[in-house]
Amino acid sequence: MNVIRTLLQIYIYALIFDAILSFFPDLMRHNWRRQLKRICDYSCNPIRKVLPPNLPFDFSPIIVILIINLLMFLW
């Protein structure tokens, strides 16, 4: 159970890191950045489909982090 909690924490850090790196679009040419975006978009894309498209900021990573923290709290 502790391993799952640690993996979820690492995924939360990856989401935060991806959100920060989104302010630097030149880094998208690197393979590691594309892989990180692909991994993080796996959980953020379903949330993005529900949110209104004209928001000034992408709130999907914040919502995913809140959901993961809620699941860890209830677990």
44-65 confidence digits (pLDDT tens): 999 999 999 888 888 999 999 9
20 pLDDT more than 80: yes
- Distance from C-alpha of 32 to C-alpha of 71, rounded to nearest angstrom: 28
What are the angstrom distances between the C-alpha of 48 and each of 15, 26, 51, 64? 14, 23, 5, 10
Would you mind telling me the total number of residues written for the chain in this entry?
75
C-alpha 48/C-alpha 7 separation (Å) is 23
Mean pLDDT (whole number) for 18-32 = 92
Question: Is a pLDDT exceeding 90 seen at residue 75?
Answer: no
In this predicted structure, the answer to whether residue 1 has a pLDDT above a threshold of 80 is no
Percent of the chain's residues with pLDDT above 90? 80
Give the per-residue pLDDT at 53. Answer: 85
pTM: 0.88
